[in-house]
Chain A
């Protein structure tokens, strides 16, 4: 990312701090952003994109983006590794689902308690972060995943079995199909992305980055490490909780199997492939990994049928192998993630033809 901040767009003079911190700096960027937003919200009416399958995928990308944004704030910006994110998604999902079943509140009221409940649990598991660093902390979040899943499986009968949830309603309009739910998911994604991007350029974001780069030095500069680390955990898990509430209302069915350790690991992989400490990178990573994962589900059974000379189960194995190998090769050539490459490309085209 360093590349773009060294080379701002030509003709842009940041003569005040406020101007330097703008997200959108040029007219071209304004136009592109508006076009992108219009395109995003018009997608259900564009040919080739308006199939239920593609929309389902896009909703998945949107919700996963929210989850990974939270994770990237915690891991990428604040430097605290978390490999239990999907457990916090689960907390949000079940909270929202149980509220709407037992209290009869609508989605719009239950989404905030869902986020807050996840944040409370997140803060609890974030407390060891005061003394633990790096991998040791990662282990306690892994513990959060294992313990929370176990509580959901044996603690409450309703969460272990799964339950139905009514779709979201606004007036008489019911958001029960992907075509309709798409708008809700995308609005949430856009708002949460914008929120994250903004939050990370305030004093809060700078404090997180200071803690990541050197926590002792940050403490000496007057940053209250304990408070900010817990805040990072709270923000991360709040995002997870909100995404969880969206997820169950999209699927209209809350079940334990949607929140596994595998998912948690995939979220970490997404932000690493996308780029740690980068909001754009999060979206790139989610898109790339979602496409790769989708390939398994689509091509796997076909390969299974055609390659009969392999033993049973080899089709999915072949795809696991290919995806793993592709990802390893990708990481060897692009270890800093897609966001880094994106910055290089932007710098290249800004400096062109004098890129030296």
Chain B
């Protein structure tokens, strides 16, 4: 029982990070119908930028965090400006392929600058353990959980209550309508990529502090993809839910059946969900005319 509860807790913690990365997928998909395969490497890049400020320049934790986030935003904006924008109006598959190549470019860039060996560890949060009933919680996990859920809730509120958020929801509905309403779709797309970069970096920093800053962090993209799809590709709230579900199932399955079974189990769940709810839990069902 204690084993199960500790697995559940750690699964939820990991799941919140998957949700964070999945929101990056959702943001970009919602605004431009592109599935961003380079999300995993954007995450890696964000994490390494943070490491650069903290581990290499030796700034303090807060400052390096505050510097890494805008840099990640700029990274997202630059990616959109130079690779995706020239392809507006071209077949969707070409745009998706560009994101695949983008992941090569980012991986190459990272290994040119920082090499392929893992970098030295940075601890973000003090390590204590709390005991709630029979469940043992580490403060590290709690902080990570909060840092992951906070921005996600902020994003949902942002969508709901601000002008820009309204414009972004409009762009998700249809590009031409929004353009004729006087809203620059290109600008909105750029902002979406920027925010997606921020979320990727956040996920990268949180993961890097627990798993170590190394190239294999990018594999988290493989787990965040089913999270985004289970929740429904159009829904940020769904991404959080999907992330938690995937985190939970991954940690339970890998706890009982061995480490390697986690990812296949997530995909099994994905396929089952897809059969019964083809657009995820909160995705938009496409209604089309012949």
Contact = CB atoms under 8 A, between A and B. Distances in A.
Interface of A: 81, 128, 131-133, 135-136, 138-140, 142-143, 146-147, 149-150, 153-154, 214, 216-217, 220, 261, 265, 268-269, 272-273, 276, 310-314, 316-325, 327-328, 331-332, 335-336
Interface in B82-118: 83, 86-87, 90-91, 93-94, 97-98, 100-117
B267 A331 contact: no
4 nearest A-B pairs in the assembled complex, by CB-CB distance: A317-B111, A313-B116, A321-B108, A311-B115
Interface in B246-269: 258, 260-261, 263-264, 267-268
Given A140-B274, A313-B116, A318 B108 contact: yes
Contacts of B225: 139, 142
A216 B116 CA distance: 49
Given A131-B278, A132-B278, A325-B105, 10 more contacts: A135-B35, A143-B267, A143-B268, A146-B267, A154-B261, A268-B97, A312-B117, A313-B115, A317-B111, A331-B87
B91 A310 contact: no
B56 to A, nearest CB: 12
A289 to B, nearest CB: 11
Given A217-B290, A325-B105, A328-B98, A335 B90 contact: yes
B207 interface: no
Contacts of B111: 311, 313-314, 316-317, 320
Contact of A317 (B107, B226, B270): B107
A147 B90 CA distance: 33
Nearest to B92: A134
Given A133-B286, A314-B115, A272 B93 contact: yes
B132 interface: no
B100 A128 contact: no
B270 A139 contact: yes
Interface residues of B, number: 51
Contacts of A154: 258, 260-261
Contacts of A138: 35
B181 interface: no
Nearest to B268: A147
* Interface SS of B by simple majority: helix
20 contacts: A135-B29, A136-B274, A136-B278, A139-B226, A139-B274, A140-B274, A143-B270, A149-B264, A265-B100, A276-B91, A276-B93, A311-B112, A311-B115, A311-B117, A313-B116, A317-B111, A318-B108, A323-B101, A324-B106, A331-B94
A150 B94 contact: no
Contacts of B117: 311-313
Contacts of B261: 150, 154
A336 B116 contact: no
Contacts, number: 149
Given A276-B93, A318-B112, A321-B108, A328 B101 contact: yes
Contact of B290 (A132, A139, A143, A220): A220
B233 interface: yes
Contacts of A322: 108
Contacts of A332: 83, 86-87, 98
B193 interface: no
A241 B90 CA distance: 33
B81 to A, nearest CB: 12
B166 interface: no
Contact of B107 (A139, A216, A320): A320
